[in-house]
Amino acid sequence: MTPLEFHLPALQVAAPMLLAPVVALLRPRGLAWAATLVASLMALAIAIGLTQGALSGESFSYAMGGWEPPYGIELHVDMFSALVLLIVTGASSIALMAGKASLDKAVEHSRQPLFYSAWLLVLSGLAGILVSADAFNIFVFMEISSLASYIVVAGGTDRRALPAVFKYLIMGTIGATFYLIGIGLIYMMTGTLNLADMELRIHDVADQRPILVAAGFITVGLALKAAVFPLHVWLPNAYTYAPHAVTAFLAACATKVSLYVLLRFDFVVFQQNLLGHEFQFAAFLMPLAVLAILAGSAVALFESNIKRLLAYSSVAQIGYILLGASLVSLAGLSASLLHMFNHALAKGTLFLAVMALAMRFTRLDLRHLAGSAQHMPWTMAAFVIAGLSLIGVPGTAGFISKWYLVSAALEAGPVGFFLIAVVVIGSLMAVVYIWRIIETAWFEPPTEAGEVIREAPVTMLAVVWLAALANIYFGLATDLPRELAAGAAASLLGQLP
């Protein structure tokens, strides 16, 4: 391992974080954006490097300042964190690349350096959560990313974003506090914050009441941050009123990072230690996942603002991810992690297409979008591809994770058949709500005839199409996400039979 490779986990967080204050000082037009993009691409490159390492079997463990774990601060990257790191840094880079024109419209020039600085803090906070091997540092990075994300969500000109962000802030803070309470209780009982160490030591105090309470607090707190139904109420408005590029970035990755922590705790720290945790975990989350799929999709059916429609669809998709995990089997967990990746692709692309659409259409209600595809065929064609991926049509990325999910459910016995029915019904509802948009855009005559509406800027379209084609690419060449997901699932399940 070269020295550079050795330092990659630290650089993953440090690079964007150190650049954030620099970006805040960059006044000249466009420079802040360029610097942010460079930092984000750098983070992506680091994530790719870490992924390669993780795939070749290296496990990155990094002791900050040379203090050995469990006493010092440890950073740790395995396949699971590499997978989510790819999602986070990829989503940020793509959203920045495509989003310049849109962000120029949404954020006034004088505030742009601060806005982009906050963006980098979100990125470094999310990356920090993923590389930390220490429960308290996860909390710290969670707060960094959350506080910064409140800024970027409210960073646009839409005043309705302010109440939405306030709700997001309150809920997010409650979630983080719950998590902190849980960590405090565990620290009280075990005297350690290092996750690996915690896993070993918790065994001695397992099934004492504080640990059980801690498990409850941590699960609920993280479920809140991950927008698990019915704790999702902050999500739709935050996504709807945020600047479009921010929505594309956060929708692809923010909730997944919280899910990452949730799965880490429930599978690594608790699973082998607490008696019956496997059952409690599944019995608690499986019904929520089913409800999320059904309720989220059902609301999306009747939603008329397409950003909010897609936001409710995200609530449902989080349900699929949880559903796979709640099967507590290798196949189920692989499906779940794979769906994290594939859903990020599909939903990110959808929001990017919406961003391109919003360049020309100010109002994103369905009825204002009638015939929009006649003006912007390329944008809407990309939307169709990503929509098919979200539905899970074969040949797209979304199909692969649905296939895995159904295969995993088949192994689960009688409950499995019920779950397959849920997945099928959810997919059918996705057909309907995506089709509503496609039909309005492609097959209805434009309401304001004669008006000249141009296609979105070419640079933006090119990136949107890149993302759309990635949906097809990862639907056909599935090796990378599949290996990562399977490897991560295997390591999460660890000693479980």
| Contacts to other proteins by CB under 8 A | 391-395, 400, 403, 406-407, 410-411, 420, 424-425, 427-428, 431, 435, 439, 442-443, 445, 475-478, 482
CB-wise, 44 or 400, nearer to other proteins?
400
Q: Which amino acid is at 43?
A: A
CB-wise, 283 or 424, nearer to other proteins?
424
Alpha-carbon span 10 to 260, nearest angstrom: 19
Q: State the nearest-atom distance from the C-beta of 435 to other proteins, in Å.
A: 7
Query: In Å, how far are 240, 297, 407 from 403, measured between CA atoms?
Result: 30, 19, 6
Q: State the nearest-atom distance from the C-beta of 424 to other proteins, in Å.
A: 5
CB-wise, 279 or 435, nearer to other proteins?
435
Query: In Å, how far are 13, 138, 139, 190, 363 from 193, measured between CA atoms?
Result: 20, 10, 11, 8, 48
CB-wise, 445 or 497, nearer to other proteins?
445
* Pairing assessment for the beta strands 74-77 and 60-63 based on DSSP bridges: antiparallel
DSSP 447: S
CB-wise, 213 or 420, nearer to other proteins?
420
Give SS3 for 404: helix
Q: State the nearest-atom distance from the C-beta of 382 to other proteins, in Å.
A: 16
Q: State the nearest-atom distance from the C-beta of 397 to other proteins, in Å.
A: 11
In the block, tokens 């070749």 appear at 56
Q: State the nearest-atom distance from the C-beta of 35 to other proteins, in Å.
A: 40
Q: State the nearest-atom distance from the C-beta of 427 to other proteins, in Å.
A: 5
State the Cα angle at 148 between 142 and 151, rounded to 5°. Answer: 145
Q: State the nearest-atom distance from the C-beta of 433 to other proteins, in Å.
A: 13
CB-wise, 71 or 435, nearer to other proteins?
435
230 preceded by a cis bond (ω within 30 of 0): yes
CB-wise, 232 or 436, nearer to other proteins?
436
Give SS3 for 76: strand
Is-contact 174 227, C-beta < 8 A? Answer: no
Q: Which amino acid is at 264?
A: R
Neighbours of 329 (CB within 10 A): 19
CB-wise, 71 or 443, nearer to other proteins?
443
Q: State the nearest-atom distance from the C-beta of 418 to other proteins, in Å.
A: 13
Closest of 27, 22, 19, 25 to residue 109, by C-alpha: 27
Cβ neighbourhood burial of 238 (10 Å; 0-12, 13-18, 19+): buried
